Amino acid sequence: MKSLMLPAALVLLLACQYEPAKSDAASVNKSTTEDNETRWIQQIQTHRFQQKRDSLRALLPQWLRSNNFNTAQVIIADLSMHSGLPRMVLMDVQTGKVLDSGMVAHGAGGDAFAATARFSNVPNSYCSSLGRYRIGGSYKGNFGTAYKLHGLEASNSNAYERLVVLHAYDCVPDTIPYPDMICNSLGCPMISYNFLNRLSKKIAASDKPMLLWIIN
């Protein structure tokens, strides 16, 4: 399978395309600046998922059918992206279209803060784990509704034992904070409450388990 990573230089290039020139800064109002930021962020997302779409669409439908998963929609979290960008998406499997998106925190490996995700499958590592997960049943945890996650690969097989779950927390914003980063988690894919509420409706409406795929 081809690399799923987008070169950092391309991220910077897309960002620079819509950065107001210094000479024009005084004449650019706040709404225009926000529109420009939204535009290049959307271009980054569009490019990333156009780049990945062919390989994902080639791989996922058969795998989802064979494993009795929801074949229409999957949730993908790309932890190679800056944490201040909406790097978790709900994707249409057939078209590759992004149906919804939001910020997601990564594990810091026990450090006070990590700008980039730390990865491990070891219990008590407080790291994120790559790979495919079956989204299990919901329950009421310390932070409200949460979903149990069942790791399906060697890289995340201890997720259930590690109590790695999909949950929300107040420190994850709904609005894009880029270039600022967001908070870290203890290894869980941690999102905002509003985003979790939207995903919960999709999960509840599905008659088969949904796939969460964490990539880097």
> How many of the other CB atoms lie within 10 Å of CB of 131?
18
* Domain range 53-215, CATH class: mainly beta
162 CB-side CA count, 13 A: 27
Per-chain mean pLDDT for the chain: 83
17, pLDDT greater than 60: no
pLDDT computed for residue 185 by the predictor: 98
- The mean per-residue pLDDT over the stretch 177-192 comes to 96
pLDDT computed for residue 18 by the predictor: 30
Contacts of 38 (CB under 8 A, 6+ apart): 176
Per-residue pLDDT of 135-166, as tens digits, reads 999 999 999 999 999 999 999 999 999 999 99
- Point out which residues pair with 185 in neighbouring strands: 107
Does residue 136 or residue 57 have the better pLDDT? 136
Integer Cα distance of 98 and 155 in angstroms: 26
pLDDT computed for residue 53 by the predictor: 59
Q: Helices in 131-190 by DSSP H: which ranges?
A: none
Name which of 47-51, 189-193, 212-216 the model is least confident about.
47-51
Q: In what order do the strands lie in the sheet with 88-92?
A: 98-102, 88-92, 73-78, 211-215, 131-141, 144-151, 165-168, 190-191
pLDDT computed for residue 12 by the predictor: 31
pLDDT computed for residue 99 by the predictor: 93
Percent of residues, the chain, with pLDDT higher than 70 = 74
> How many of the other CB atoms lie within 10 Å of CB of 95?
10
Per-residue pLDDT of 62-86, as tens digits, reads 999 999 999 999 999 989 889 999 9
pLDDT computed for residue 95 by the predictor: 84
- Point out which residues pair with 101 in neighbouring strands: 89
Triad 187, 52, 75: Cα angle to 5° = 40
Phi-psi region of 172 (alpha: psi -120 to 50; beta: other; left: phi over 0): beta
pLDDT computed for residue 27 by the predictor: 42
- Predicted confidence band at 168 (pLDDT cuts at 50, 70, 90)? very high
Size (the chain), residues: 216
Does residue 10 or residue 177 have the better pLDDT? 177
> How many of the other CB atoms lie within 10 Å of CB of 132?
21
Contacts of 54 (CB under 8 A, 6+ apart): none
Q: Are strands 211-215 and 73-78 parallel, antiparallel or unpaired?
A: parallel
204, pLDDT greater than 50: yes
Provide the residue ranges of all domains of the chain, joining segments of one domain with +: 53-215
User: Strand, coil or helix: what is 60?
Assistant: helix
Per-residue pLDDT of 105-130, as tens digits, reads 999 999 999 999 999 999 999 999 99
